[in-house]
A and B are shown apart, each in its own frame.
Chain A
Amino acid sequence: MNLHAIRAIYLFEMARTRRTLVQSIVAPVLSTALYFVVFGAAIGGRISEVEGVPYGSFIVPGLIMLSLLTQSISNASFGIYFPRFTGTIYEVLSAPVSAAEIVIGYVGAAATKSIMLGLIILLTAAFIVPLRIDHPLVMLLFLVLTAVTFSLLGFIIGIWADGFEQLQLVPLLVVTPLTFLGGSFYSVDMLPPGWRTVALFNPVVYLVSGFRWSFFGIADVNPAISIGATLGFLAICLGLVAWIFRTGYRLKK
């Protein structure tokens, strides 16, 4: 294991975060705070509580997930796309590092950022609405699993993308809609029965539901199934990454 290399990549990426602190941390926190104002205050005025939880509190896990997903993807995809774009990727490709080490370095850094971000948003929320966390360890497990899984997805997108537009495409066209339809702002039970079935095909539903269960003990789907689904998605992403490195897809000519 080339630990020096993992460390080098990881620290390089974390230094990038520090340089772009405003963009990496402050902007998502700000936009999350805006969600609180709009959804929490405006809608919360009409829906006082969901399954015994005040609406403002109810949406916290979903909001954290929303940021976690989008930031994991954008951090990780940019982290690997940028060196491809500038050509500096030549050095990583010519270095004595394995695919696993490259992934640990890049995805590890992106996931770290997302987890930090998630915790900051959680802290921010705790100042605004009453919060309780019934299962803190499960909460952390979901936080880490989701950050890693979607950083991996971002990494894959960063390798697949052939331009900055494509880099934005997947988050814009796929992830954001799935997240909004994933029960961040409502319980799936509030949907008409037909839509409820459709919602169960949305992987984000499982994340949000499981994550929310760790806070309030209420869930749309069984938390065990949530964790299983997340692990399944993680496995798919790992498989894709392994395939990419075995074939050199988009990395080597």
Chain B
Amino acid sequence: MTAATFWPPDRALMHAAIEVSALEKTYASGFTALKPLDLAIRRGEIFALLGPNGAGKTTLISIICGIVNPSAGRVLVEGHDILLEPRKTRSLIGLVPQELTTDAFETVWDTVSFSRGLFGKRADPAHIERVLRDLSLWEKRDSKILSLSGGMKRRVLIAKALSHEPQILFLDEPTAGVDVELRRDMWSLVRRLRDEGVTIILTTHYIQEAEEMADRVGVINRGELILVEEKAELMRKLGRKRLVLQLQERLAAIPPSVARENLELAGGGAELVYTYDAKAGRTGITALLGDLAAAGIRFTDLRTEQSSLEDIFVDLVRRAA
């Protein structure tokens, strides 16, 4: 056996699930929704795309799925170009769109079976049954879609996307306007799919969800990807910490000898809150504590808090604006 046997490495093992390079979109109206954008989604991860309304999340997803034509750039899905081998790339992808666009007069069973056929898969009633049961739709299988509630319609859209056993699943704001039960069901389903090896890309407004669910987070604003980071790393790196001091005696104002940037009085004067960059070499904590002692301000307790993804997100978007 020679070294050549090992090289080139199996393409399937090497490339990402999705590779977006220099992707641009300018709509017919002249509006540029995506500036040149690069992004790689790893196989098997849950990737959360965060961004304010109009950031370009749906546009990006729509291009990858083949619904919107790109203006420039390239997208590879499992190593295949979406424009050159659309049949290959599309059969790998399931899409749950943002809008509740369902049929009306068809039954749940029919519309989900239709999706499977449309994606080129042989009929498999056992699989459809499994999907419907997983989504608590089994009892509703013979109901016409128009008779279902909004939450149930959302489940139907997910069932349609899963009907053809995709390797990559896009969920475009899946929990917007959805009840708590469905949200919980959905996240347990997403975890199970990930365990089965499905790559999941979701967009959400609920930052706690990204924080809870995602392996990596991308932040997009005005068509630009501002940041892509491991979620844990992101929280660690960009996370600002807060030091909260519980005061023995309430303060009316912060004495000038102690006052500094990032120090605030809270809890009606019962707490001092100092925000600092956990990653910085000098956090300023020692100096603060020294000044407090010198001013005779005593505290009964202290704690530190990590800032949430939401704080990070708001901060990033504000900085980029």
Chain A contact residues, CB within 8 Å of chain B = 2, 4-5, 7-9, 11-12, 15-16, 19, 86-88, 90-98, 248, 252-253
Contact = CB atoms under 8 A, between A and B. Distances in A.
Interface stretch (B12-20, B46-54, B118-126, B206-214): B118-126
A16 B99 CA distance: 23
Given A15-B110, A87-B99, A253-B27, 5 more contacts: A2-B87, A8-B117, A12-B110, A248-B69, A252-B68
Given A86-B101, A252-B68, A91 B121 contact: no
**Pairs of residues from A and B, 8 with the lowest C-beta to C-beta distance, nearest first:** A8-B117, A87-B101, A96-B90, A94-B65, A96-B91, A96-B87, A2-B120, A95-B118
Contact of B101 (A7, A11, A19, A88): A88
Nearest to A88: B101
A12 to B, nearest CB: 5
B119 A96 contact: yes
A131 B306 CA distance: 88
Name the interface size band of chain B.
35 or more
Given A4-B122, A5-B119, A87-B99, A95 B90 contact: yes
B90 A94 contact: yes
Given A87-B99, A91-B160, A96-B90, A252 B67 contact: yes
A16 B103 CA distance: 11
B114 A8 contact: yes
B220 interface: no
Contact of B118 (A8, A86, A87): A8
Nearest to B91: A96
A149 B103 CA distance: 28
Interface in B124-149: none
Contacts of B122: 4
A111 B199 CA distance: 41
Contacts of A5: 117-120
Contacts of B121: 4
B101 A94 contact: no
A85 to B, nearest CB: 10
B108 interface: no
Nearest to B170: A94
Interface in B90-123: 90-91, 93, 95, 97, 99, 101-106, 110, 113-123
Contacts of A19: 105
Contacts of A15: 106, 110
Given A94-B65, A94-B66, A88 B103 contact: yes
A4 B115 contact: no
A19 B119 CA distance: 25
A4 B68 contact: no
B86 interface: yes
A253 B90 contact: no
Contacts of A86: 101-104
Interface of B: 27-28, 62, 65-69, 86-91, 93, 95, 97, 99, 101-106, 110, 113-123, 160
Residue of B101, B120, B160 with most partner-chain A CB within 10 A: B120
17 contacts: A4-B119, A4-B120, A4-B122, A8-B117, A15-B110, A86-B102, A86-B103, A87-B99, A88-B103, A91-B95, A94-B66, A96-B88, A96-B91, A97-B87, A252-B67, A252-B69, A253-B69
Contacts of B113: 8
Nearest to B94: A94
A96 B106 CA distance: 22
Contacts of A248: 69
B110 A7 contact: no
B103 A94 contact: no
Contacts of B88: 96
A75 B68 CA distance: 27
Contacts of B110: 12, 15
B86 A96 contact: yes
Contacts of A11: 114, 117
B115 A91 contact: yes
A94 B67 contact: yes
B211 to A, nearest CB: 29
A94 B95 contact: yes
A179 to B, nearest CB: 31
Contact of B97 (A12, A16, A90, A253): A90
B28 A95 contact: no
B115 A96 contact: no
A96 to B, nearest CB: 4
Contacts of A8: 113-114, 116-118
A252 B105 CA distance: 25
A253 B88 CA distance: 22
B51 to A, nearest CB: 19
B102 A88 contact: yes
A248 B27 CA distance: 13
Contacts of B68: 252-253
A97 B89 CA distance: 11
Nearest to B160: A91
A5 B307 CA distance: 49
